[in-house]
Amino acid sequence: MTGPVPSPLLLIEDTPSLQMVYRSVLQTAGHTVQAASNAAEGMRLFQETGAVTVLLDLMLPDRDGLAVMREMLALRPETRVIVITANASINRAVEAMRAGAHDFLVKPFDEVRFLGAVANASGATGTLPKPAQKRAVTAEPDVVAEVFIGSSAAMRRVQTTIRSVAGSMATVFITGESGTGKELCAVAVHAGSPRAGGPFIALNCGAIPQDLLESEVFGHMKGSFTGAISDKQGAAAAADGGTLFLDEICEMAPALQTKLLRFLQTSTVQPVGAVRPRKVNVRIVCATNRDPAEAVRRGEFREDLYYRLFVVPVHMPALRDRGEDVVEIAEIALERFAREEGRQFDGFDPEVLDLFRRLSWPGNVRQVLNVIRNIVVLHPGGRVTLAMLPDSLQRAEPVTGAAPKPDATGGLDSLIGRSMAEIERLVIEETIARNGGSVPKAARVLELSPSTIYRKLEGWGLKPQL
Protein backbone atom coordinates (compact mmCIF):
# COMPACT_ATOMS: atom_id res chain seq x y z
CA MET A 1 0.00 0.00 0.00
CA THR A 2 1.47 3.33 -1.02
CA GLY A 3 1.18 6.60 0.85
CA PRO A 4 -0.24 9.83 -0.53
CA VAL A 5 1.66 11.44 -3.36
CA PRO A 6 3.25 14.71 -2.17
CA SER A 7 1.93 17.82 -3.88
CA PRO A 8 4.37 19.40 -6.34
CA LEU A 9 6.36 22.51 -5.70
CA LEU A 10 5.01 25.54 -7.53
CA LEU A 11 7.59 27.86 -9.11
CA ILE A 12 6.45 31.27 -10.38
CA GLU A 13 9.30 33.01 -12.22
CA ASP A 14 8.92 35.14 -15.35
CA THR A 15 12.56 35.02 -16.56
CA PRO A 16 12.81 31.90 -18.78
CA SER A 17 16.50 31.23 -18.11
CA LEU A 18 16.09 31.47 -14.33
CA GLN A 19 12.93 29.37 -14.39
CA MET A 20 14.85 26.69 -16.30
CA VAL A 21 17.77 26.75 -13.83
CA TYR A 22 15.56 26.67 -10.72
CA ARG A 23 13.44 23.88 -12.15
CA SER A 24 16.49 21.81 -13.07
CA VAL A 25 18.01 22.15 -9.59
CA LEU A 26 14.74 21.18 -7.91
CA GLN A 27 14.11 18.20 -10.18
CA THR A 28 17.68 16.96 -9.71
CA ALA A 29 17.05 17.10 -5.96
CA GLY A 30 14.02 14.83 -6.40
CA HIS A 31 11.16 17.34 -6.42
CA THR A 32 8.15 17.41 -8.72
CA VAL A 33 7.83 20.96 -10.05
CA GLN A 34 5.05 22.91 -11.74
CA ALA A 35 6.23 26.21 -13.23
CA ALA A 36 4.43 29.39 -14.26
CA SER A 37 5.68 32.55 -15.97
CA ASN A 38 3.14 35.04 -14.64
CA ALA A 39 0.69 35.59 -11.80
CA ALA A 40 -2.42 34.43 -13.67
CA GLU A 41 -0.87 31.11 -14.67
CA GLY A 42 0.60 30.74 -11.18
CA MET A 43 -2.76 31.18 -9.45
CA ARG A 44 -4.34 28.67 -11.83
CA LEU A 45 -1.71 26.05 -11.03
CA PHE A 46 -1.91 26.88 -7.33
CA GLN A 47 -5.60 26.02 -7.30
CA GLU A 48 -5.30 23.00 -9.60
CA THR A 49 -2.30 21.28 -8.01
CA GLY A 50 -2.92 21.98 -4.33
CA ALA A 51 0.73 23.03 -3.94
CA VAL A 52 1.67 23.83 -0.35
CA THR A 53 5.22 25.04 -1.10
CA VAL A 54 5.50 27.96 -3.52
CA LEU A 55 8.61 29.71 -4.86
CA LEU A 56 7.42 33.16 -5.89
CA ASP A 57 9.32 35.94 -7.63
CA LEU A 58 8.02 39.27 -6.32
CA MET A 59 8.49 41.02 -9.70
CA LEU A 60 5.92 39.56 -12.11
CA PRO A 61 4.81 41.08 -15.43
CA ASP A 62 1.05 41.06 -14.81
CA ARG A 63 0.69 41.54 -11.06
CA ASP A 64 2.51 42.42 -7.86
CA GLY A 65 4.03 39.29 -6.30
CA LEU A 66 3.13 40.41 -2.78
CA ALA A 67 -0.55 40.61 -3.73
CA VAL A 68 -0.32 37.12 -5.23
CA MET A 69 1.15 35.78 -2.00
CA ARG A 70 -1.60 37.36 0.10
CA GLU A 71 -4.26 35.80 -2.12
CA MET A 72 -2.61 32.36 -1.82
CA LEU A 73 -2.44 32.59 1.97
CA ALA A 74 -6.06 33.72 2.11
CA LEU A 75 -7.08 30.63 0.11
CA ARG A 76 -4.77 28.18 1.94
CA PRO A 77 -3.17 29.61 5.10
CA GLU A 78 -0.95 26.51 5.48
CA THR A 79 0.93 27.39 2.26
CA ARG A 80 4.67 27.94 2.68
CA VAL A 81 5.71 30.75 0.31
CA ILE A 82 9.41 31.34 -0.40
CA VAL A 83 9.72 34.76 -2.02
CA ILE A 84 12.53 35.57 -4.44
CA THR A 85 13.76 39.11 -4.88
CA ALA A 86 16.71 41.11 -6.18
CA ASN A 87 19.23 42.63 -3.77
CA ALA A 88 17.92 46.13 -4.47
CA SER A 89 14.46 45.06 -3.28
CA ILE A 90 15.42 43.64 0.11
CA ASN A 91 12.81 45.83 1.80
CA ARG A 92 10.14 44.06 -0.25
CA ALA A 93 11.37 40.74 1.10
CA VAL A 94 11.08 42.03 4.67
CA GLU A 95 7.56 43.26 3.90
CA ALA A 96 6.70 39.82 2.51
CA MET A 97 8.02 38.08 5.63
CA ARG A 98 5.86 40.29 7.79
CA ALA A 99 2.89 39.47 5.56
CA GLY A 100 3.34 35.75 6.12
CA ALA A 101 6.09 34.51 3.77
CA HIS A 102 7.88 31.43 5.09
CA ASP A 103 11.34 32.41 3.79
CA PHE A 104 13.02 34.60 1.20
CA LEU A 105 15.93 34.34 -1.22
CA VAL A 106 17.92 37.34 -2.45
CA LYS A 107 19.39 37.01 -5.95
CA PRO A 108 21.99 35.81 -6.64
CA PHE A 109 21.83 32.78 -4.32
CA ASP A 110 23.63 29.46 -4.53
CA GLU A 111 22.21 25.96 -4.88
CA VAL A 112 22.80 24.97 -1.25
CA ARG A 113 20.91 28.00 0.10
CA PHE A 114 18.15 27.41 -2.48
CA LEU A 115 17.63 23.74 -1.61
CA GLY A 116 18.01 24.47 2.11
CA ALA A 117 15.11 26.94 1.96
CA VAL A 118 12.96 24.42 0.08
CA ALA A 119 13.89 21.63 2.51
CA ASN A 120 12.95 23.85 5.43
CA ALA A 121 9.60 24.73 3.86
CA SER A 122 8.91 21.12 2.89
CA GLY A 123 9.75 19.95 6.41
CA ALA A 124 7.40 22.55 7.83
CA THR A 125 4.53 21.18 5.72
CA GLY A 126 5.17 17.61 6.80
CA THR A 127 6.58 16.36 3.50
CA LEU A 128 9.88 14.57 3.17
CA PRO A 129 12.90 16.92 2.83
CA LYS A 130 14.08 15.49 -0.47
CA PRO A 131 17.09 17.76 -0.99
CA ALA A 132 18.69 16.30 2.16
CA GLN A 133 17.79 12.78 0.98
CA LYS A 134 19.37 13.43 -2.38
CA ARG A 135 22.57 14.72 -0.80
CA ALA A 136 22.80 11.63 1.38
CA VAL A 137 22.32 9.29 -1.60
CA THR A 138 24.98 10.99 -3.68
CA ALA A 139 27.57 11.27 -0.90
CA GLU A 140 30.45 8.92 -1.73
CA PRO A 141 33.13 7.85 0.80
CA ASP A 142 35.64 10.27 -0.71
CA VAL A 143 33.18 13.12 -1.10
CA VAL A 144 35.81 15.63 0.06
CA ALA A 145 37.89 15.11 -3.08
CA GLU A 146 34.78 15.59 -5.22
CA VAL A 147 33.71 18.79 -3.49
CA PHE A 148 37.13 20.47 -3.64
CA ILE A 149 38.89 20.69 -6.97
CA GLY A 150 42.64 21.17 -6.61
CA SER A 151 45.68 19.18 -5.55
CA SER A 152 47.77 21.93 -3.92
CA ALA A 153 49.33 21.33 -0.52
CA ALA A 154 46.99 23.92 1.00
CA MET A 155 43.90 22.09 -0.22
CA ARG A 156 45.27 18.69 0.77
CA ARG A 157 45.58 19.98 4.34
CA VAL A 158 41.95 21.13 4.27
CA GLN A 159 40.81 17.78 2.88
CA THR A 160 42.72 15.88 5.56
CA THR A 161 41.15 17.97 8.32
CA ILE A 162 37.63 17.47 6.97
CA ARG A 163 38.07 13.70 6.70
CA SER A 164 39.31 13.61 10.29
CA VAL A 165 36.54 15.72 11.79
CA ALA A 166 33.54 14.72 9.66
CA GLY A 167 32.70 11.63 11.70
CA SER A 168 32.64 13.46 15.04
CA MET A 169 30.11 15.78 16.66
CA ALA A 170 32.70 18.54 17.07
CA THR A 171 31.72 22.02 15.93
CA VAL A 172 33.64 23.15 12.83
CA PHE A 173 34.50 26.83 12.40
CA ILE A 174 35.39 27.71 8.81
CA THR A 175 37.22 30.93 7.94
CA GLY A 176 38.34 32.36 4.63
CA GLU A 177 37.76 35.11 2.11
CA SER A 178 34.52 35.36 0.15
CA GLY A 179 34.42 32.90 -2.73
CA THR A 180 36.89 30.38 -1.29
CA GLY A 181 34.27 27.65 -0.83
CA LYS A 182 33.33 27.86 2.86
CA GLU A 183 29.81 26.56 2.25
CA LEU A 184 31.15 23.69 0.13
CA CYS A 185 33.44 22.87 3.04
CA ALA A 186 30.40 22.71 5.32
CA VAL A 187 28.60 20.46 2.84
CA ALA A 188 31.63 18.15 2.76
CA VAL A 189 31.68 17.90 6.56
CA HIS A 190 28.00 16.98 6.54
CA ALA A 191 28.21 14.56 3.61
CA GLY A 192 31.18 12.73 5.12
CA SER A 193 29.48 12.30 8.49
CA PRO A 194 27.03 9.73 9.92
CA ARG A 195 24.45 12.54 9.60
CA ALA A 196 24.60 12.54 5.80
CA GLY A 197 21.13 10.98 5.70
CA GLY A 198 19.70 13.90 7.67
CA PRO A 199 19.00 17.48 6.56
CA PHE A 200 21.66 20.08 5.78
CA ILE A 201 20.18 23.50 6.59
CA ALA A 202 22.16 26.60 5.60
CA LEU A 203 21.43 30.05 7.02
CA ASN A 204 23.28 33.21 6.05
CA CYS A 205 23.27 35.40 9.16
CA GLY A 206 24.43 38.41 7.16
CA ALA A 207 21.70 38.24 4.50
CA ILE A 208 18.69 38.20 6.86
CA PRO A 209 17.51 41.40 8.58
CA GLN A 210 18.30 41.27 12.28
CA ASP A 211 14.64 41.65 13.30
CA LEU A 212 13.81 38.46 11.39
CA LEU A 213 16.89 36.42 12.24
CA GLU A 214 15.62 35.00 15.54
CA SER A 215 12.51 33.69 13.81
CA GLU A 216 14.66 32.20 11.04
CA VAL A 217 16.91 30.37 13.51
CA PHE A 218 14.43 29.31 16.18
CA GLY A 219 11.03 29.68 14.50
CA HIS A 220 7.87 31.30 15.80
CA MET A 221 4.33 30.46 16.84
CA LYS A 222 1.20 31.75 15.18
CA GLY A 223 0.21 35.11 16.62
CA SER A 224 3.52 35.69 18.40
CA PHE A 225 3.98 38.99 16.52
CA THR A 226 2.25 41.01 13.81
CA GLY A 227 2.35 39.02 10.56
CA ALA A 228 2.89 35.62 12.23
CA ILE A 229 -0.23 34.08 10.66
CA SER A 230 1.01 30.50 11.07
CA ASP A 231 3.59 28.49 12.96
CA LYS A 232 7.07 28.58 11.43
CA GLN A 233 9.72 25.96 11.99
CA GLY A 234 13.14 27.54 12.51
CA ALA A 235 16.37 26.38 10.92
CA ALA A 236 17.59 24.78 14.17
CA ALA A 237 14.54 22.52 14.40
CA ALA A 238 14.58 21.82 10.65
CA ALA A 239 18.18 20.57 11.02
CA ASP A 240 17.22 18.03 13.71
CA GLY A 241 19.18 14.85 13.03
CA GLY A 242 21.47 16.67 10.60
CA THR A 243 23.69 19.74 10.29
CA LEU A 244 22.95 23.44 10.78
CA PHE A 245 25.33 25.69 8.84
CA LEU A 246 25.49 29.27 10.13
CA ASP A 247 27.26 31.33 7.50
CA GLU A 248 28.65 34.80 8.31
CA ILE A 249 28.26 34.01 12.02
CA CYS A 250 30.09 37.18 13.07
CA GLU A 251 27.24 39.29 11.65
CA MET A 252 24.78 37.90 14.22
CA ALA A 253 23.30 40.48 16.57
CA PRO A 254 24.55 40.31 20.21
CA ALA A 255 21.10 39.45 21.61
CA LEU A 256 20.79 36.47 19.29
CA GLN A 257 24.36 35.39 20.13
CA THR A 258 23.17 34.93 23.72
CA LYS A 259 20.30 32.73 22.59
CA LEU A 260 22.58 30.74 20.30
CA LEU A 261 24.95 30.10 23.21
CA ARG A 262 22.02 28.85 25.30
CA PHE A 263 20.99 26.58 22.41
CA LEU A 264 24.52 25.13 22.22
CA GLN A 265 24.56 24.52 25.97
CA THR A 266 21.11 22.92 26.23
CA SER A 267 20.43 21.51 22.73
CA THR A 268 16.90 22.93 22.99
CA VAL A 269 15.06 25.44 20.82
CA GLN A 270 12.18 27.65 21.88
CA PRO A 271 10.32 29.36 19.02
CA VAL A 272 9.23 32.96 19.48
CA GLY A 273 5.93 32.81 21.40
CA ALA A 274 6.34 29.17 22.48
CA VAL A 275 5.81 28.19 26.12
CA ARG A 276 8.11 25.17 26.23
CA PRO A 277 11.46 24.41 24.58
CA ARG A 278 12.03 21.40 22.36
CA LYS A 279 15.06 19.11 22.40
CA VAL A 280 16.90 18.71 19.07
CA ASN A 281 19.98 16.81 17.89
CA VAL A 282 21.95 19.17 15.66
CA ARG A 283 25.58 19.47 14.64
CA ILE A 284 26.77 23.06 14.18
CA VAL A 285 29.11 24.20 11.41
CA CYS A 286 29.73 27.92 11.11
CA ALA A 287 31.74 30.22 8.86
CA THR A 288 32.88 33.81 8.47
CA ASN A 289 35.00 35.85 6.08
CA ARG A 290 36.16 38.00 9.02
CA ASP A 291 38.78 37.31 11.68
CA PRO A 292 36.62 35.97 14.53
CA ALA A 293 39.27 36.67 17.17
CA GLU A 294 39.37 40.28 16.00
CA ALA A 295 35.56 40.46 16.22
CA VAL A 296 35.85 39.27 19.84
CA ARG A 297 38.52 41.88 20.58
CA ARG A 298 36.28 44.62 19.20
CA GLY A 299 33.38 43.46 21.34
CA GLU A 300 31.28 42.49 18.30
CA PHE A 301 31.24 38.75 19.07
CA ARG A 302 30.81 37.11 22.47
CA GLU A 303 34.02 35.57 23.76
CA ASP A 304 32.25 32.64 25.43
CA LEU A 305 30.36 31.87 22.20
CA TYR A 306 33.61 32.09 20.23
CA TYR A 307 35.28 29.48 22.42
CA ARG A 308 32.17 27.31 22.29
CA LEU A 309 32.19 27.33 18.47
CA PHE A 310 35.92 27.48 17.71
CA VAL A 311 36.56 23.77 18.33
CA VAL A 312 37.97 22.60 14.99
CA PRO A 313 39.06 25.56 12.85
CA VAL A 314 39.34 25.10 9.08
CA HIS A 315 40.85 27.95 7.05
CA MET A 316 39.95 27.97 3.35
CA PRO A 317 42.98 29.34 1.48
CA ALA A 318 42.65 32.11 -1.07
CA LEU A 319 43.00 30.97 -4.68
CA ARG A 320 46.15 33.09 -5.16
CA ASP A 321 47.81 30.87 -2.53
CA ARG A 322 46.90 27.59 -4.23
CA GLY A 323 49.38 27.49 -7.10
CA GLU A 324 48.24 25.40 -10.08
CA ASP A 325 44.77 24.79 -8.63
CA VAL A 326 43.40 27.69 -10.71
CA VAL A 327 44.26 25.81 -13.91
CA GLU A 328 42.63 22.62 -12.68
CA ILE A 329 39.50 24.49 -11.60
CA ALA A 330 39.26 26.33 -14.93
CA GLU A 331 39.65 23.16 -17.00
CA ILE A 332 37.06 21.18 -15.05
CA ALA A 333 34.63 24.13 -15.05
CA LEU A 334 35.03 24.57 -18.82
CA GLU A 335 34.20 20.91 -19.43
CA ARG A 336 31.20 20.98 -17.09
CA PHE A 337 29.68 24.26 -18.29
CA ALA A 338 30.18 23.31 -21.94
CA ARG A 339 28.32 20.07 -21.34
CA GLU A 340 25.47 21.94 -19.62
CA GLU A 341 25.20 24.45 -22.49
CA GLY A 342 25.57 21.81 -25.21
CA ARG A 343 28.78 23.28 -26.63
CA GLN A 344 32.19 21.91 -27.53
CA PHE A 345 35.37 23.59 -26.26
CA ASP A 346 38.93 22.37 -26.82
CA GLY A 347 40.70 23.70 -23.76
CA PHE A 348 42.69 26.92 -23.22
CA ASP A 349 45.49 28.60 -25.14
CA PRO A 350 48.75 28.57 -23.12
CA GLU A 351 48.60 32.38 -22.90
CA VAL A 352 45.24 32.18 -21.14
CA LEU A 353 46.47 29.68 -18.57
CA ASP A 354 49.59 31.76 -17.99
CA LEU A 355 47.40 34.80 -17.29
CA PHE A 356 45.22 32.74 -14.95
CA ARG A 357 48.32 31.77 -12.97
CA ARG A 358 49.44 35.38 -12.60
CA LEU A 359 46.14 37.01 -11.63
CA SER A 360 45.32 37.68 -7.96
CA TRP A 361 41.68 36.48 -8.28
CA PRO A 362 40.18 38.66 -5.52
CA GLY A 363 36.86 36.82 -5.97
CA ASN A 364 38.60 33.46 -5.54
CA VAL A 365 37.01 30.28 -6.93
CA ARG A 366 33.64 31.97 -7.42
CA GLN A 367 35.27 34.52 -9.72
CA VAL A 368 36.94 31.80 -11.81
CA LEU A 369 33.65 29.95 -12.23
CA ASN A 370 31.89 33.16 -13.30
CA VAL A 371 34.61 33.87 -15.86
CA ILE A 372 34.39 30.38 -17.36
CA ARG A 373 30.59 30.52 -17.42
CA ASN A 374 30.82 33.87 -19.25
CA ILE A 375 33.14 32.34 -21.88
CA VAL A 376 30.91 29.32 -22.47
CA VAL A 377 27.69 31.34 -22.73
CA LEU A 378 29.06 34.02 -25.07
CA HIS A 379 31.08 31.83 -27.47
CA PRO A 380 30.06 28.84 -29.61
CA GLY A 381 33.10 26.71 -28.79
CA GLY A 382 36.65 26.04 -29.92
CA ARG A 383 39.82 26.85 -28.05
CA VAL A 384 39.65 29.60 -25.42
CA THR A 385 41.84 32.55 -26.38
CA LEU A 386 42.72 35.81 -24.62
CA ALA A 387 40.21 37.64 -26.86
CA MET A 388 37.38 35.50 -25.43
CA LEU A 389 38.01 36.59 -21.83
CA PRO A 390 35.74 39.21 -20.24
CA ASP A 391 37.03 42.76 -20.66
CA SER A 392 37.36 43.23 -16.90
CA LEU A 393 39.70 40.23 -16.67
CA GLN A 394 41.86 41.38 -19.58
CA ARG A 395 42.29 44.76 -17.85
CA ALA A 396 43.17 43.20 -14.48
CA GLU A 397 46.73 43.77 -13.38
CA PRO A 398 48.67 40.52 -12.89
CA VAL A 399 50.23 40.10 -9.48
CA THR A 400 53.56 38.30 -9.31
CA GLY A 401 56.13 38.28 -6.51
CA ALA A 402 56.27 41.05 -3.95
CA ALA A 403 53.81 43.89 -4.21
CA PRO A 404 55.45 46.89 -5.96
CA LYS A 405 55.98 49.90 -3.73
CA PRO A 406 54.04 53.04 -4.65
CA ASP A 407 55.84 56.25 -5.43
CA ALA A 408 56.37 57.91 -2.07
CA THR A 409 55.59 61.28 -3.60
CA GLY A 410 52.51 60.07 -5.44
CA GLY A 411 50.15 60.04 -2.48
CA LEU A 412 46.71 58.66 -3.28
CA ASP A 413 47.37 58.84 -7.03
CA SER A 414 49.91 56.04 -6.71
CA LEU A 415 47.19 53.73 -5.37
CA ILE A 416 44.50 54.43 -7.96
CA GLY A 417 44.16 51.53 -10.36
CA ARG A 418 45.42 48.93 -7.90
CA SER A 419 43.23 46.17 -6.47
CA MET A 420 42.16 46.28 -2.82
CA ALA A 421 44.31 43.20 -2.20
CA GLU A 422 47.40 45.06 -3.45
CA ILE A 423 46.59 48.20 -1.45
CA GLU A 424 46.07 46.14 1.70
CA ARG A 425 49.45 44.48 1.24
CA LEU A 426 51.22 47.77 0.57
CA VAL A 427 49.74 49.37 3.71
CA ILE A 428 50.55 46.41 5.95
CA GLU A 429 54.13 46.03 4.70
CA GLU A 430 54.82 49.78 4.95
CA THR A 431 53.35 49.96 8.47
CA ILE A 432 55.54 47.06 9.59
CA ALA A 433 58.59 48.73 8.05
CA ARG A 434 57.84 52.04 9.81
CA ASN A 435 57.58 50.20 13.13
CA GLY A 436 61.01 48.60 12.90
CA GLY A 437 59.71 45.32 11.53
CA SER A 438 57.51 44.69 14.58
CA VAL A 439 54.23 42.97 13.72
CA PRO A 440 52.64 43.60 17.16
CA LYS A 441 53.38 47.34 16.89
CA ALA A 442 52.02 47.46 13.33
CA ALA A 443 48.93 45.58 14.52
CA ARG A 444 48.23 48.25 17.13
CA VAL A 445 48.56 51.01 14.53
CA LEU A 446 46.26 49.22 12.07
CA GLU A 447 43.84 48.07 14.81
CA LEU A 448 44.21 44.46 13.73
CA SER A 449 45.16 41.39 15.69
CA PRO A 450 48.78 40.26 15.21
CA SER A 451 47.51 36.81 14.17
CA THR A 452 45.70 38.41 11.20
CA ILE A 453 48.92 40.06 10.00
CA TYR A 454 51.01 36.93 10.55
CA ARG A 455 48.54 34.90 8.50
CA LYS A 456 48.59 37.44 5.66
CA LEU A 457 52.40 37.56 5.65
CA GLU A 458 52.50 33.77 5.51
CA GLY A 459 50.09 33.85 2.59
CA TRP A 460 52.37 36.29 0.77
CA GLY A 461 55.37 34.02 1.34
CA LEU A 462 57.08 36.47 3.73
CA LYS A 463 58.73 35.61 7.08
CA PRO A 464 58.01 38.21 9.76
CA GLN A 465 60.39 39.11 12.53
CA LEU A 466 59.46 37.44 15.84
Query: Does the 319-395 domain belong in CATH 1.10.8.60?
Result: yes
The structure's pTM equals 0.58
Cα distance between residue 341 and residue 285, in whole Å = 34
CATH class label, 139-317? alpha beta
pLDDT for res 323: 87
Contact present, 206 and 221 (Cβ < 8 Å): no
Same fold, 1-108 and 139-317: yes
82: exposed, middle or buried (Cβ count in 10 Å: 0-12, 13-18, 19+): buried
Q: Are strands 381-384 and 219-220 parallel, antiparallel or unpaired?
A: unpaired
Cα distance between residue 283 and residue 194, in whole Å = 11
pLDDT for res 78: 82
Give the DSSP letter string of 362-377: TTHHHHHHHHHHHHHH
On the question of pLDDT at 364 being above 60, the answer is yes
User: Treating both helix axes as pointing N-terminal to C-terminal, what angle do 182-191 and 130-138 enclose, rounded to 10 degrees?
Assistant: 80
On the question of pLDDT at 176 being above 70, the answer is yes
User: In the chain, what are the domain boundaries?
Assistant: 1-108, 139-317, 319-395, 411-459
Select, from the ranges 203-212, 220-229, 379-388, the one with the highest average predicted confidence (pLDDT): 379-388
Query: Does the 411-459 domain belong in CATH 1.10.10?
Result: yes
pLDDT for res 462: 66
Distances (CA, A) of 179 to 120, 176, 274, 288, 418: 25, 8, 38, 11, 20
* Protein fold of 1-108: Rossmann fold (3.40.50)
Nearest of 215, 214, 8, 216 to residue 125 by alpha carbon: 8
Among 25-34, 89-98, 249-258, 360-369, which stretch is predicted with the lowest mean pLDDT?
89-98
Compute and round to an integer the Cα radius of gyration of the chain.
Answer: 24
The amino acid at residue 384 is V
For residue range 104-138, list pLDDT tens digits in order.
Answer: 777 767 777 788 788 877 764 333 333 333 233 23
Segment 275-280 shows an average pLDDT of 82
The amino acid at residue 121 is A
